[in-house]
Structures are given as structure tokens and as C-alpha cells.
Amino acid sequence: MELFCREYRYSLDAKNRLAIPAKYREILGETFIITRKLDPCLAIYTHEEWQKYSDKIKALPDSVAMELKEFIFPKTLVAEPDSQGRVIIPGDLKDHAQLDKNAVIIGVGDHAQIWSEALWEEREKKRDLASLRELMRQLGL
């Protein structure tokens, strides 16, 4: 499996279209899944990774996971980029991620994420490198 790596910066156009990096489109294929995360961002999955992710949720009994199912599945989109590699970000997903004009698309290994540029920069500034260093030490990295 190819990994999603790097960070890309794009602008949403007046029709809420966002370009998906060509490198990511090679991994994603002709259609892919966009959904919201608990953080104020969106996730982009290949169909294969989406299947793994959604199977874990669907396997849980409704008594445990109904709220999670109601959060994830109604706001999930099968996206198909246009000839220029852009996808339309629906208003509800745009609002969830607080996207306005500028977006950052980041690779996080098995999937990619779409962040508002302002929220991503704020998150980067607050990143606790000492805690990450300790985690990496504990994992032997």
C-alpha cells in the first residue's frame, strides 16, 4: 500500500471545488471517500481503507455505536474528481472543517486529511514535540 505523505496548500474556488494533489489521486483512483473526522477536518480514504474503517464501525452493536454511525455515515461522500482533479466540497462538510478560502491537504499514512489553513497552522504551533519525542522513544522509533 502506498502511503499518503506531505502537505499541500490549495484554495477553494467560488463553486467550493478543491484540487486534490495528483500524487494522492494516483493512490485514490477514479473515486474515493470523503468524510468528516471528530477534529474539525475531513478525511479522504481509498475505497479499500474506507472499507476497513467502516467495517469496524458497522461491526459494533447499535447500543454502543449508533451516535458514531449517525455522525459518520450521513456526512460521507463518494467523490469523483473532475478533469482538473477538483472535487466539490459540500456545504455541510465545508462547514464542519471550517473551510473558507485556503485549505491544507496532509497525508497521514493510510489516508489524507483536509484542514482549514488557519486551523492547521494553529495546530502545528501547539504541537507538543516533547510528548511526541517521548512517544517515539517508547515505541523505539
The angle formed by the CA atoms of residues 76, 103 and 56, to the nearest 5 degrees, is 30
pLDDT of the residue at 64: 87
Q: Indicate the class that CATH gives domain 7-139.
A: alpha beta
Average pLDDT score over residue span 98-125:
97
DSSP 3-state assignment of 83? coil
pLDDT of the residue at 2: 80
Q: What are the helix (H) ranges across 1-141?
A: 22-28, 47-58, 62-72, 91-96, 117-126, 129-139
- pTM for this predicted structure: 0.92
pLDDT of the residue at 128: 87
Domain boundaries, the chain: 7-139
Residue 1 has pLDDT above 80, yes or no: no
Q: What is the mean pLDDT of the chain?
A: 95
- Encode pLDDT of 36-89 as tens digits: 999 999 999 999 999 999 999 999 998 889 999 999 999 999 999 999 999 999
